[in-house]
């Protein structure tokens, strides 16, 4: 392997982590330096598939890597991140950054002190749909987002707000660019101990209102957003990377399809992370945005649970 290649590792190679390993193995300027996985059978499978070593501890993985993806359950993010930072590794931490603001602040503080980058895995920010939205959305007045998914046990260590809605929270914060004024939330549990269905109405200081609907007990998958602004109405599908724009022209509504060049969001995300590390520049989705999204998600979760306890 060339010394110029960035040595990247993956902590946790389950359903999502295996794709981090695959993409690091595919990127031309990266060496997949190794993995850490608590399930020995899974570790052996991924090691054989990509020809990379398995390390017995997080510290040993950190000692051979320049950068590491943390793709373990959310409640383990903090304990996995700290030894990697001590080893001098830049981190890509899957969303949400942590399960508490205190843990998130601790990671960001230690990373800053060590001059290390932290990117948070808000993958939709690297979806080509988001690239279009960032250019097309200038003065949003009302936003609705729907994110539905069939139930699966993976991810239920947190409620649906931290599991799925946090994607749309991150998207809306990025598009609106205004402090939050008011949050009103409702939700119910169905198949897990925590909320599986959630709705949040978020009012921003600039007057924009966002209505987020999320469910992980749906019969179908859906990831759609609609943005209303004075210049027109945008309807985008994150899953199929398609959509249309409606504008008023001469008193008539005119619809045009959005020209989106499709791509694999995770590959775009990891390539961007590698570029940030190589060029020592702030990631597109840095730790602060991840922490702000977490703060709002925790507020929504608390409101839902307080209401359920009444």
Instruction: Name the least confident of 2-11, 178-187, 222-231.
Output: 2-11
* Residue 58: Cβ-neighbour burial (10 angstroms; 0-12, 13-18, 19+): buried
Structure tokens at 304: 């839902």
Q: What is the pLDDT of residue 250?
A: 79
pLDDT of residue 3: 57
% pLDDT > 90, the chain? 91
What are the Cα distances from residue 242, in Å, to 119, 129, 137, 225, 309? 26, 7, 16, 11, 41
pLDDT at 155 (0 to 100): 66
Q: What is the average pLDDT across 33-54? A: 98
State the CB neighbour count (10 A cutoff) for residue 197: 19
Q: What is the DSSP string of 50-114?
A: HT--B-SSHHHHHHH-SEEEE-S-GGGHHHHHHHHHHTT-EEEEESSS-SSHHHHHHHHHHHHHT
Distances (CA, A) of 222 to 153, 250, 264: 18, 34, 17
103-153 per-position pLDDT tens digit: 999 999 999 999 999 999 999 999 999 999 999 999 999 999 999 999 987
β-sheet bridge partners, residue 201: 184, 211
- Token duo for residue 145: 């987002």
Share the mean pLDDT of the chain.
95
For residues 208-223, average pLDDT = 97
Please give the DSSP secondary-structure letter assigned to residue 275. H
The whole-model pTM stands at 0.92
Over residues 5-23, the pLDDT tens digits come to 999 999 999 999 999 999 9
Instruction: State how far the Cα of 226 lies from the Cα of 165, in Å rounded to an integer.
Output: 15
């Amino acid at each position: 392997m060339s010394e110029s290649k960035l040595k990247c590792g993956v902590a946790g190679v389950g359903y999502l982590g295996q794709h981090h390993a695959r993409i690091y193995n595919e990127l031309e300027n990266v060496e997949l330096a190794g993995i850490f996985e608590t399930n020995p059978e899974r570790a052996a499978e991924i090691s054989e598939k990509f020809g990379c070593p398995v390390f017995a501890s997080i510290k040993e993985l950190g000692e051979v890597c320049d950068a590491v993806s943390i793709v373990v359950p959310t409640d383990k993010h903090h304990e996995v991140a700290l030894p990697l930072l001590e080893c001098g590794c830049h981190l890509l931490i899957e969303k949400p950054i942590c399960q508490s603001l205190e843990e998130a602040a601790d990671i960001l503080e230690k990373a800053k002190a060590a001059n290390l980058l932290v990117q948070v895995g808000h993958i939709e920010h690297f979806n080509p749909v988001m690239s279009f939205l960032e250019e097309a959305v200038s003065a949003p007045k009302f936003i609705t987002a729907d994110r539905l998914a069939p139930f699966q046990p993976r991810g239920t260590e947190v409620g649906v707000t931290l599991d799925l809605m946090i994607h749309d929270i991150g998207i809306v914060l990025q598009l609106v660019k205004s402090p939050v004024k008011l949050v009103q939330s409702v939700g119910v549990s169905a198949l897990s101990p925590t909320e599986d269905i959630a709705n949040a109405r978020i009012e921003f200081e600039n007057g924009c209102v966002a209505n987020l609907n999320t469910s992980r007990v749906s019969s179908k998958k859906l990831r759609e957003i609609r943005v209303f602004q004075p210049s027109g109405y945008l309807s985008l599908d994150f899953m199929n990377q398609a959509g249309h724009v409606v504008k008023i022209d001469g008193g008539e509504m005119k619809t045009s399809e959005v020209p989106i060049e499709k791509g694999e969001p995770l590959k775009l995300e990891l390539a961007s992370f590698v570029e940030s590390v190589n060029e020592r520049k702030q990631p597109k989705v840095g730790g602060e945005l991840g922490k702000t999204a977490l703060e709002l998600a925790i507020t929504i979760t608390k409101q839902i649970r307080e209401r359920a306890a009444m």
